[in-house]
Amino acid sequence: MTSTKKTAGTRHKADKYTEFVSRGFGKDVAKRLGLPQPAILRRYEPNAPLVGGPILVLGNGAGSDAVAKVLLGWHQDVRRHATPKEKLGAVVVVLDELEHPEQLANPLLALGASLRDVSKNARVVSISRPAAASDKPAVAAARNGVDGFIRSLAKELRSGATANGILLANGIPASSPSAMASLRFLLSGRSAFIDGQFLTASSAGSTAEPDWNKPLDGSIAVVTGAARGIGAAIARTLARDGATVIAVDVPAAGDHLAAVANEIHGTALQLDITNPEAGSRILEHAISRHGRLDILVHNAGITRDKLLANMDNARWDPVIAVNIASQLRMNEAFLASPGLGENPRIISVASTSGIAGNRGQTNYAASKAGVMGMVRSTAPLLAERGGTVNAVAPGFIETDMTATIPFATREVARRLNSLQQGGRPGDVAEAIAFFAQPAAAGVTANVLRVCGQNLVGQ
């Protein structure tokens, strides 16, 4: 679930259990009692190594050779064959030429043989193609088999390791810029709370040399709901990556909004996004100060939970108004304006509730599922301007809101994912920052879950 009423620092105070069982006496107690043993996750730090050891690249085709070459260009320690008992930081398995399920055995069992040698917080990433209705049945079966394999493997990995996949549209090489930008993101600490998920590279993407340290340098970004929690974390992360950020929130949050804007050397705009003129107000602010708008992050959202039998318009209408109707109106204004920069990026915050549903949240789930539908239909409109639109769907994220959940319920919610812990607001922000990068120019119409592979839903 997402909300504007959150703080970025809650996570460090909230999940004492994970810290306790990660070392010494606590680790021994958890092991003896058979309790969950979540790992301290490896998260992004500037100038830190991309992965924690050599990268094993599996696959026999030209695609695997090309991917290995790119990794070498990133100054990674690459292996094409496993060395017994050598600790691995990551395994990349390239399956872009699959034509029959019988071809899965060799590369995937080779991957399995190396799993005992992966280090803590290791990454497993597949590169394959999605099944299509036009495929021959055997080809579709093989390609779809990768989906089930990765999602299942993600549930088997331990010690903070994750498994995710990249899907290549037909004709897109495995080593295309968009696929390699996705690979770098999934290998890095930026993807710490993403597990069992797939990113689709719809086109080859930009061939311009990326700046991996400041990928958003010179960009102008707007973040709604930026005064607290996930929104504040998004604003900070975009600013860290080089963007100039316009932080937007309601006047009632003015003090917190100003504090965030001052911290990141951005500007604050007090605005109710349900105002029909919100889009034009944002554009006017961005153009008057910076000449254009490059990145728009629709983060603002509210909840008004109630069982449907007890739901009324007072609870239903505001959720729809804030969470989806406002985004639709603003997008229309942005797409109609010459003030939208070249190659624009729109990223919306959805929710796993919009995918799997959640008791007492029919209004919220409808609004967040609506966000996903909007993203997919907006993608062709943005493509005409060289832009992309994507959504990020958080699961259980440690915030002020989740901190108020009763202890037993909160603990169950934390442990109901493959990483056995809640995520941080920064985990959501990292995914959004990836979609905003110029290197992700070929990655559009995705709904990426940031949920640690929660056991419900897809």
Cα 452 to Cα 36, 130, 389, 427, 433: the distances in Å are 14, 22, 23, 10, 18
Overall size of the chain counted in residues: 458
In the residue annotation, 17 being an active-site residue is answered as no
- How far apart, in Å, are the Cα atoms of 250 and each of 273, 400, 432? 8, 18, 22
Report residue 424 as tokens: 């941080």
Task: Residue 220: name the closest of 240, 236, 244 by CA.
Answer: 244
* Helix axis angle, 278-290 to 326-335, nearest 10°: 40
Please name every residue paired with 201 in a beta bridge, in sequence order, or none if there are none. Answer: 168
Taken in order 251, 252, 255, 259, the sign of the CA dihedral is negative
Among 44, 364, 434, 435, the one annotated catalytic: 364
The catalytic residue positions are 364
